[in-house]
Amino acid sequence: MTFITQRGAALCLLAGLALGAQLARAQIVVGQTSGFTGPVAPGVKENTDGAKLYFDAVNAQGGVHGQRIELVSLDDKFDPKLTAENARKLIVERNAIALFLVLRGFNLYGDPRPWSNTPPMPAWLSFLNTSKYPASLNFLLMTLGPTIALIPLLDRARGKVAEWTTVFGRVPFFYYALHIPLIHALAVIVSWVRSPDATWWLFTNHPMNPPEAPDGYPWSLGLLYLVWAVAVVMLFFPSRWYANLKARRTDWWLKYT
């Protein structure tokens, strides 16, 4: 067993101890903070009702390895400060991060691809290689859990970097909608330059079920980060413009973008 695997096993064991009380009650807790009251309440209620129906169906069939799923929903009234406080409660009091370590560490549930310590992928990368499309439970716990836990600290951040990143936080859906065509266009440009014969691969069933990447197409990590940085810089300027537009106007549709 490698050093990484030993550390991972120890981390999972500690997480399991932290979750002892929850597991004794045979529950898997799924936390949610959203605007059950306020301008987005109707949509939130529909999504939550749908999630409850699914969890009820899973519980009626015995749950997950004998453990029932409990949906804990907190109302943040569409208020960012209350959202941060609710998130802290869910992470600290409900141990969402520890739940990810247990489920992923012992390959119990939450992702169609179990991690392993077999080449060519290192164990720690295999552990983090959860399914993004469609997003698995482990992917959401792994990404949203630490992010939400850091919100109270990041909310107090000051300086130029904080001001720059806050621009994206003020218009998240606008940024998301723009980044999809932009990164696809950048990928096509890079492919034309590096491997023009493999460009067709970018027009297959992405991101859900693309075929194997053709020879010569895979990017180096350095190139990937370079294109990512270019995309972020390019999106900063329209995001800043749209954030200022939202600050000046009160049109109802601006609340949803």
Residue pLDDT, tens place only, 75-90:
888 777 787 777 767 7
pLDDT band of residue 169 (cuts 50, 70, 90) is: confident
Q: Is residue 101 located within the same domain as residue 224?
A: no
Of 134, 154, 174, which residue is a domain's last? Answer: 154
Q: What is the reported pTM?
A: 0.57
The reported pLDDT for the residue numbered 223 is 93
Q: Is residue 106 located within the same domain as residue 168?
A: no
pLDDT over 90 for what percent of the chain?
19
Is 50's pLDDT higher than 90?
Answer: no
pLDDT band of residue 30 (cuts 50, 70, 90) is: confident
Q: Is residue 120 located within the same domain as residue 22?
A: yes
Closest Cα partner for 83 from 74, 72, 92, 70? 74
Is 95 within 8 Å of 22 (Cβ atoms)?
yes
The reported pLDDT for the residue numbered 102 is 63
Is 2's pLDDT higher than 60?
Answer: no
Closest Cα partner for 142 from 124, 116, 167? 124
Map tokens 């804990």 to a residue: 72
Closest Cα partner for 69 from 131, 161, 137? 137
In whole angstroms, give the CA distance from residue 187 to residue 183: 6
For 218, the domain range is 160-256
Q: Is residue 36 located within the same domain as residue 52?
A: yes
Q: Is residue 136 located within the same domain as residue 177?
A: no
Q: Is residue 133 located within the same domain as residue 184?
A: no
Q: For the chain, what's the residue count?
A: 257
Of 107, 138, 154, which residue is a domain's last? Answer: 154
The reported pLDDT for the residue numbered 243 is 92
Q: Is residue 93 located within the same domain as residue 141?
A: yes
Digit-coded pLDDT (tens) for 131-153? 887 788 888 888 877 777 777 77
Q: Which is more confidently placed, 194 or 50?
A: 194
The reported pLDDT for the residue numbered 19 is 43
> How many structural domains does the chain have?
2
Mean pLDDT value of segment 176-199? 93
CATH of the domain at 52: 3.40.50
Whole-number average pLDDT of the chain = 78
Q: Is residue 94 located within the same domain as residue 21?
A: yes
Q: Is residue 217 located within the same domain as residue 119?
A: no
Q: Is residue 177 located within the same domain as residue 108?
A: no
Of 119, 154, 189, which residue is a domain's last? Answer: 154
